[in-house]
Amino acid sequence: MSDVLAVTEHRQGELRDVSFEVTTAGRQLADATGGELALAVIGGDVDAYAGQLDVEGVDAVYTVAEGDEFNHDVYTQAIEALADDLDPQYVVAPHTVNGLDYAPAVAQHLAVPLVTDVIEFDASGGLAVTRELYGGKTEAGIDVEGDRAMVTIRPGEWEPAGGDGDARVEAFDADIDDDAVRSTVSGFEAVGAGDVDISEAEVLVSVGRGIEEEDNLDIIFELADALDATVSASRPIVDNEWLPQDRQVGQSGKTVTPEVYIAIGISGAVQHVAGMKGSETIVAINNDPSAPIYDIADYGIVNDLFDVVPALTEQFQ
């Protein structure tokens, strides 16, 4: 029971990058337990995926050829059948939208503790993990009790695994019970594109909940005009329908890599940061010195945006 099972992810014909990150995390755990690292790849063109997943550090890849796309009822059954067979000490999954659609169910069915959105772990003596609490303002050390556990890891925290592997690739018959598949995926829809493509912009003036009211957006647009920049936003602004969806930066919005990203009244939640951390220069204007945005900002002004933004605009007029 010293083995580790890591679950990979794909969508619309492509493995997602996070698959190689769970591979690295799984290898790290297996090194600590002295066991093997097995990957699970479920659905789609599993043989092609298995070939791509045969990277350094992987001992085995189990393929479950069932369906084309993600279905949580198939995933839960397949992972549970694999766990029955392999008796892994740890199961690792990505903390993605699909990961959180099956991991809690698998942990519940296997009766193992679950700890999610982990950013670091140490399995040298039992499992100790680090994850954030209080909306990213603190980091907690957590001991996971018991011998076994299921862990979901935060995307972007582990280096993707690479290199050439010599893994066994085995087709696994998970004996999926179709009657227990009680949801059906009928397709995908891309969020409509608007007239502005924020991912092409060189300078983004990005606005968050700190702006408080829709009318206050005026000062943001005035600044953007003065800077010849494009306006983007964090999720609450789009949820409130103050700006269209294609202006949203982040996990469920767009990934942007401008020369300059000015975050105004944005706290820097992980799902937001996922979409803008590749920006060349990050400037934050936020009156909360403990806001996580300052962890990745290059420059900051810790002050009231309603004072700073008009003053900055004036500098350019």
CB of 109 to another protein, least distance (A): 6
Q: Is the dihedral of CA 33, 29, 20, 177 positive or negative?
A: positive
- In the bound state with another protein, the residue whose beta carbon lies nearer, of 70 and 158, is 70
Among 259, 261, 272, 279, binds another protein (CB under 8 A): 259
Amino acid residing at 304: D
Question: Strand runs (DSSP E) across 191-252, as ranges?
Answer: 203-207, 230-233
| Angstrom distance (rounded) from CA 292 to CA 273 | 9
By CB under 8 A, residue 315 contacts another protein: yes
Site for another protein in 282-311 (CB under 8 A): 283-284, 287-292, 294-303, 307-308, 311
Integer CA distances (angstroms), 270 to 2, 151, 260, 267, 310, in order? 32, 18, 19, 9, 28
| Strand pairing class (299-301; 281-285) | parallel
Q: Which does 75 bind (CB under 5 to 8 A by kind): another protein, ligand FAD, none?
A: none
Q: Which does 175 bind (CB under 5 to 8 A by kind): another protein, ligand FAD, none?
A: none
Q: Is the dihedral of CA 225, 228, 232, 238 positive or negative?
A: positive
- In the bound state with ligand FAD, the residue whose beta carbon lies nearer, of 171 and 185, is 185
Among 116, 206, 230, 232, binds another protein (CB under 8 A): 116
Please name which of 66, 63, 127 lies closest in space to residue 91, comparing C-alpha atoms. 127
Please name which of 39, 43, 41 lies closest in space to residue 55, comparing C-alpha atoms. 39
- In the bound state with another protein, the residue whose beta carbon lies nearer, of 56 and 288, is 288
Q: Which does 138 bind (CB under 5 to 8 A by kind): another protein, ligand FAD, none?
A: another protein
Q: Which does 273 bind (CB under 5 to 8 A by kind): ligand FAD, another protein, none?
A: none
Q: Do the beta carbons of residue 199 and residue 255 sit within 8 Å?
A: yes
Q: Which does 215 bind (CB under 5 to 8 A by kind): ligand FAD, another protein, none?
A: none
- In the bound state with ligand FAD, the residue whose beta carbon lies nearer, of 35 and 236, is 236
Chain residues that interact with ligand FAD, rule: CB under 6 A: 97, 208-210, 234-236, 248-253, 265-267, 269, 271-272, 275, 286-288, 291, 304-306
Q: Which does 295 bind (CB under 5 to 8 A by kind): another protein, ligand FAD, none?
A: another protein
| Angstrom distance (rounded) from CA 141 to CA 246 | 37
By CB under 8 A, residue 144 contacts another protein: yes
Among 132, 196, 216, 257, binds another protein (CB under 8 A): 132
Please name which of 38, 34, 35, 42 lies closest in space to residue 65, comparing C-alpha atoms. 42
Q: Do the beta carbons of residue 131 and residue 119 sit within 8 Å?
A: yes
φ/ψ bin of 44: left (φ > 0), alpha (ψ from -120 to 50), beta (otherwise): left
Structure tokens at 242: 């103050």
Structure tokens at 5: 């099972």
Q: Which stretch binds another protein (CB under 8 A): 23-31, 33-41, 57-65, 221-229?
A: 221-229
Site for another protein in 153-182 (CB under 8 A): 182
Q: Which does 156 bind (CB under 5 to 8 A by kind): ligand FAD, another protein, none?
A: none
